[in-house]
Chain A
Amino acid sequence: MTDGAGNPQIVTMRLELRNITKAYPAVIANDDVSLEVLPGEIHAVLGENGAGKSTLMKVIYGVTKADAGKILWNGKAVNIPNPAQARRLGIGMVFQHFSLFETLTVAENIALAVEEEFDLDALSTRIREVSERYGLPLDPRRLVHSLSVGERQRVEIVRCLLQEPQLLIMDEPTSVLTPQAVRKLFETLRRLADEDCSILYISHKLEEIRVLCHKATVMRGGKVTGEADPRQETVASLARMMIGRDLPVCEHPEFDGGGEPLLVIDGLSQKSDDPFGTDLKDIHLSVRSGEIFGIAGISGNGQKELLAALSGELPIDRANIAPITICGVAAGTLRADGRRDLGMAFVPEERLGRGAVPPMSLSDNALLTGHRTGMVRFGLIEDALARVFAERCVEDFDVRCAGVHATARSLSGGNLQKFIVGREILQNPRVLVVAQPTWGVDVGAAAAIRQALIDLRNAGVAIFVVSEELEELFEICDRIAVIADGRLSPVKRSSDTDMEEIGLWMSGMFPGGPAAEDVSHAV
């Protein structure tokens, strides 16, 4: 494999940042940052939440303007006032928080970002070609609101690839992909690099950076704290550079088989309202007290529908009452609040908008689900109690924020997730349902969240986790099952299986699975 290092005296840098500084009212996001990227180099930018990586990428992509500093593109000083200019130069970006339009189709979304004649049919054909070539299957006619997080990311990636960029910026790209898809993406990225496209790769997955990247720039607190050749480093040494201390390891005591079943689904079949959704087919499972039960699967295989059925957010269908039992009580006819009253807590996949209300303060957001712990008396809100609750949550879960009056949207993804998970845990649930617990969250915060879940399990809570990150499931789960095309695989103890087997099952190849039939979602 070429490493792109060449001879730095002769080769012109594809991108050179010199002394970039960007200050926001409360914080200096980038403090005198310099960076060099060679043509065809896969360059990692490593750093914890709030280290300033995203701001730096936004400066390069023209979304944000730097206060000071210079950008050199192929050796020439350039001014990048807006993303259109960045794209014209040949810079593409895959956002961590997607820049997609939900009510438009995939093809329409992509059409808005490419500068060519407006012809949706021709574009759809190209989307199919590119997406299939890079192993990112995508139906151009689908509406984005019906896509899962993973599928939405595919749209963003394909959107960039269509523009044949010279520099591709990827912000946490693999957090929602399966091992096979990650391998395919890496092939894609390596091929792009061989074709002389440079890649700026932001990720918290250190192993991936080690395998993929030629060079790494490490950031902490807005400053560059070091550079490294990740191929020469270990995961532990990279982590030390990034967080300034050793990588936290989750303590996971042996699984004792669990106690009584607290969350039971006994033959759940459900048609999806969404014409593009997945129907659930005869799902049986039970989660016991003191165990973490994980659901693996490629996004769009029924996870969304299963979680909706569990959370109680769907309208209750009297003709087909969901066979769900929570703490021994039939809960199929209960709404979300009724299920919470039984002792279930729920952490949804979408942090902003579903897990928390973006413009409301943390203390108000704590009230949203925490009100049943006595924060409302005679119909009036006890503000002081909500504040104390939120403060405890901020403290116990190390949420970095400007205080409990800070709005939810002002927090970084990882900090907000810690807050939401903390809010649910502090209510002492008996059953906890969590979707994508650490999506887009950095190493430190992810370890903290996982440890919190394990501690909760040790305390005898039944925990149900749906995640697209296999490593995470294997790290925390006692038992694992796979969902594919709305069907559930047999359940295995995580000590009795491995990623290869689960990976196979994810494509529907399990006893009774849909693999023999036509499985459009599972590729």
Chain B
Amino acid sequence: MNDVLVGIILATLGAGTPLVFAALGELITEKSGVLNLGVEGMMLVGAVCGFAVAADTGSLWLGVVTAMTAGAFMALLFGVLTLTFQANQVAAGLALTIFGVGLSAYIGLEYTSVALTGLQAVHIPLLSSMPLIGPTIFSLDPLMYLSFVLLAAISYFLYRSKAGLLLRAIGESPRSAHSIGYPVIRIRYLAVLFGGGMAGLGGAYLALVYTPLWVEGMTAGRGWISLALVVFATWRPARVILGAYLFGGVTILQLHVQGLGIDLPAQLLSSLPYIATIVVLVLISRDINTIRLNSPASIGKTFHPGA
């Protein structure tokens, strides 16, 4: 029984972690008032670049860094379009995803049959031998630990630091921020780049840890789910994480249910993670004041500093 439970928890964490990275990155981007719909594309490009470098050099960590760089580079393209040339954010984001899907398929052609040993779990001495929590909390892979650290760091950044306060302020009213003298465009660039790096990291987790291999279109809509998570979690980091693991957990559970041969249509079961995640997040976030206070009011709108 214990082993089954441990298995389910580990699988849940594994399925949720790519979403955690991508969604936290997008959260920061959106908090600055920029809506980047290119998460799916950035994840794919991150995944394939990370995988290719890891396969060629044998260094998984170099792969991880490459994935983040590639994601950030994609985000830079988006930033140049929307922030420098003031293009429409929705259109530019969709284009970025379409571009990323194509580009990753092209780069990945030679790597589709390559096998790789993924990042291994780190067993923390003593603690990892505790029952249940040992294998589920103290024997995880390094990127998963990194995701926990990131959650803490991002929460602290947003709600405790002046830089985070500024980010939230810009997302709410770039005009006011500009009139008291902050470089709105520059800060939005940083937020967009961070979002891209995190999406790349989410892709790397898929290709280097979760599977680990490269398959065309392997993100399978996780970029889109990350976007939905951010909105339905009303732009709050802890709720984003909750949503990510809920999604991961229901994904794993419905697989088990399908495996047990319970007489329910497979399509219904497969759609369960999406439904459950959105229903739960909507229910806990329906307070109108919470939404008003946490959503970046300027999201998706271009800002002209000169006007």
* Residues of chain A at the chain B interface (Cβ within 8 Å): 62-63, 82-87, 95, 98-104, 108, 111-113, 118, 143, 145
Contacts and interface: CB of A to CB of B under 8 A. Distances in A.
A112 B166 contact: yes
Given A108-B165, A108-B169, 14 more contacts: A82-B181, A83-B181, A99-B176, A99-B180, A100-B173, A100-B176, A101-B168, A101-B173, A101-B177, A103-B168, A104-B165, A112-B180, A112-B182, A145-B292
Contacts of A145: 292
B176 A118 contact: no
Nearest to A145: B292
Interface in B129-184: 161-162, 165-166, 168-169, 172-173, 175-182
B293 interface: yes
A118 B160 CA distance: 9
B35 interface: no
A108 B172 CA distance: 13
B297 interface: yes
Interface of B: 161-162, 165-166, 168-169, 172-173, 175-182, 292-294, 297
A84 B181 CA distance: 5
A277 to B, nearest CB: 12
Interface of B is mostly: helix
Contact of A104 (B161, B168, B292): B168
Contacts, number: 58
A234 B297 CA distance: 47
Nearest to B173: A101
Given A101-B176, A102-B172, A62 B181 contact: yes
A178 B297 CA distance: 32
Contacts of A113: 180
B172 A99 contact: no
5 shortest A-B CB distances, which residue pairs? A83-B181, A84-B181, A118-B162, A99-B176, A99-B179
Contacts of B168: 101, 103-104
A100 B176 CA distance: 6
B179 A83 contact: yes
A104 B172 contact: yes
A255 B297 CA distance: 47
29 contacts: A62-B181, A82-B181, A84-B180, A84-B181, A85-B181, A98-B176, A99-B173, A99-B175, A99-B179, A99-B180, A100-B176, A101-B168, A101-B169, A101-B172, A101-B173, A102-B172, A102-B173, A102-B297, A103-B168, A103-B297, A104-B165, A104-B169, A112-B162, A112-B166, A112-B169, A112-B177, A112-B180, A113-B180, A118-B162
A63 B179 contact: yes
Interface centre among B166, B180, B292, B294 (most CB of A within 10 A): B180
Contacts of B178: 63
